Chains A and B, each alone.
Chain A
């Protein structure tokens, strides 16, 4: 057994070294946020302070952008999930020669680099007057997440046995009733995963609102952080760190919720195994 002990020690050492490398930027974030004289290096603050948080907790810096993010990403997530549930139901339950090509197209679309579409989207949005509107941007954000959400949702729905629905049909329930009363309650965890995953993706999205929203009072946090702190000339690093923590906290908490529920490889199970 000595060989396995040695192997374990070596593995531990290698992992700890990697963990340290991954931790350094995160440690900077935590320490700088409570340090009034924070600079670019990791260092232990001479005294702890909440001044940085106080300074950024204003309407202009934190509350308005976060509210915009919530409206934009929350609305888009809702739209994505509703459309994905509706689309996944016939794809999962009915068989027709259109089902397979449709799903293959969806899967193909999940892989397209959305970044590349942004120049034409900007051009189109200018022409149809959707540029600089929250709902236009929300519609595009929802669409950008739709392919993957449909794909995930369909896979989760396949896991719900059809027998129960057949019982409901025999009792005279309509398709919509069956979907909302029988299928959705049974795929609760799947629905939660798709919802939270979509929201996390949208919350962190920078390029889409960066291109499509122009007026400062409508900017979500992902872009406002860039315009407030992006001019590197006179950045107050402590405040930047404090705001980054406030902005990242919601997605970290949401991720912990689904990670605990379904184990690490959640989103990938469906995508990778096909």
Chain B
């Protein structure tokens, strides 16, 4: 209990933040829930009727929507779950064994890719994956077949771009987690004759399992909302072959002027995000 006594006025400083959050975050989310059940369009201001679940029915029957869901799953799985998470863990582990200059160099490069603004990262990887780009130059040099990556495998190209840009986050989380494992535990296992891979599987991984859970959740959540990277690299194309849900949502709401339909898709994204958030909060078992 503090010395200033009790009273509601002590909570007044909370007001500016709360007002902003209600107006600009809770407001739009509420509006989102309402609009998603109407047939609002960008053109023709009068046409806004309550249509119930039509937008959602339409979404689940829409091949383009199902394509977007599938691509979002591929994008999230390849770039967040497999790419960022595994590479981040591997880098953090290797850094503990490597010599200092190598560690610093790798860390700096990986973190630079992370700190660069999203749109710059997108341009850099666009040039890297283009037919005339550096990746094909490297492949030519190794006498491997080159191809037009942004045309043949656009979803893989943007997934790799997301790995390039996002791995630093996992690397930092895992570096912190690995640093907290007491040294005597690994040493004891070594004395007992456990081999390298077995030590990792039976000791290291179980000890950092909470960090793994946290990291997977946060990676998934941030990957679900990636828009700029994909938009600048491929604009969801060619056709709709790299059109993930955020890009699909933008396309429907603004380029096709179907605000109601686009908002329904946004609401579904929000629901998936909320679900992950709740799992994340439970995983963290926050003490606040």
Most buried by A among B31, B97, B119, B225: B119
Interface string of B91-126 (1 = CB under 8 A from A): 100110111001101110111110111111001110
When the two chains form their complex, are residues A111 and B221 in contact, meaning their CB atoms are under 8 A apart? yes
Do the beta carbons of B134 and A28 come within 8 Å of each other? yes
Which A residues are in CB contact (< 8 Å) with B106? Answer: 15-16, 18-19, 22
Question: Which of B18, B20, B124, B273 is close to A142, meaning CB atoms less than 8 Å apart?
Answer: B20
Instruction: Compute how far the CA of A59 lies from the CA of B277 in the bound complex, rounded to whole angstroms.
Output: 43
Tell me if A119 and B16 are in contact (CB < 8 A). Answer: no
B130 touches A (CB below 8 Å): yes
A193 to chain B minimum Cβ distance, whole angstroms, is 14
Instruction: Tell me if B98 and A8 are in contact (CB < 8 A).
Output: yes
Q: Which residues of A contact B110 (CB under 8 A)?
A: 18-19, 22
User: Do residues A124 and B18 form an inter-chain contact, with CB atoms below 8 A?
Assistant: no
Chain B residues whose C-beta falls within 8 Å of the C-beta of A87 in the assembled complex: 13-14, 16-18
Contact of A274 among B107, B253, B263, B285 (CB under 8 A): B285
Residues from chain B with a CB closer than 8 A to the CB of A206 are 117-119, 227-228, 232
A103 is an interface residue with CB less than 8 A from chain B: yes
Dominant secondary structure of chain A at its interface with chain B: helix
Q: Is A1 interfacial (CB-CB < 8 Å)?
A: no
- Asked if A120 contacts B95 (CB within 8 A), the reply is no
Given contacts A29-B124, A87-B13, A143-B21, contact A22 B164 (CB under 8 A): yes
**Secondary structure call for the B interface:** helix
Residues in B whose Cβ lies below 8 Å from that of A194: none
Q: Which residues of B contact A274 (CB under 8 A)?
A: 284-288
Query: What is the CA–CA distance of A149 and B94 in the complex, to the nearest angstrom?
Result: 32
Stretch at the interface among B3-11, B59-67, B77-85, B181-189: B3-11
B32 touches A114 (CB 8 A): no
**Do residues A119 and B249 form an inter-chain contact, with CB atoms below 8 A?**
yes
Within 8 A of A (CB), among B18-35: 18, 20-21, 23-25, 27-29, 31-32, 35
CA distance A89 to B267 in the complex (A): 33
Closest CB of chain A to B71's CB: distance in Å?
15
CB of B125 within 8 A of CB of A207, answer: no
Q: Can you list 24 A-B pairs, Cβ within 8 angstroms, ordered by A?
A: A16-B105, A18-B87, A22-B113, A25-B124, A29-B120, A82-B16, A86-B13, A87-B13, A87-B16, A91-B14, A99-B288, A109-B21, A111-B217, A112-B274, A115-B225, A116-B269, A119-B32, A119-B250, A119-B266, A124-B27, A175-B10, A210-B228, A248-B117, A265-B176
* A residues in contact (CB < 8 Å) with B: 7-8, 10-12, 14-16, 18-19, 22-26, 28-29, 39-42, 79, 82-84, 86-87, 89-91, 93-96, 98-100, 102-104, 107-109, 111-124, 139-140, 142-144, 146-147, 150, 162, 165-166, 169-170, 175, 200, 203-207, 210, 222, 225-226, 229-230, 237, 240, 244, 247-248, 251-252, 255, 259, 264-265, 268-269, 271-272, 274
Besides A26-B113, A26-B124, 14 more A-B contacts (Cβ < 8 Å) are: A19-B110, A109-B25, A111-B221, A111-B277, A113-B221, A113-B269, A123-B31, A123-B35, A124-B31, A143-B25, A165-B2, A175-B10, A204-B117, A244-B120
